[in-house]
Amino acid sequence: DTNCLQVRIWARRKAIAEGHGNYALSVTGPMLKFFERYYNASYPLSKSDQIALPDFNAGAMENWGLITYRETALLYDPAISSVGNKERVLTVVAHELAHMVVCSL
């Protein structure tokens, strides 16, 4: 049930302290609710942990219990990031979360 879902964004301490994970955090719950309605399938976990890695070779990878991302695919700084970067974060997060819902079909 996504109403009781624990969502966490993990990254370097400075990035978290400066709020760079807030955008991804704000879109994860609503996005999962959308996918649940659209696919008529439940998100299979009680949590959504997502981590931004400074040197991650792939753009992102869905893993059971922890989605891994390159920093630029998960973190957004409204003071310096472009609108294009914000859109990229949204689309990559959506892509990875869709894998998690669809895998439960």
Active site residues: 96
CB 30 within 8 A of CB 19: no
User: Tokens at residue 68, please?
Assistant: 């891994």
Give the β-pairing of 67-70 and 60-61: antiparallel
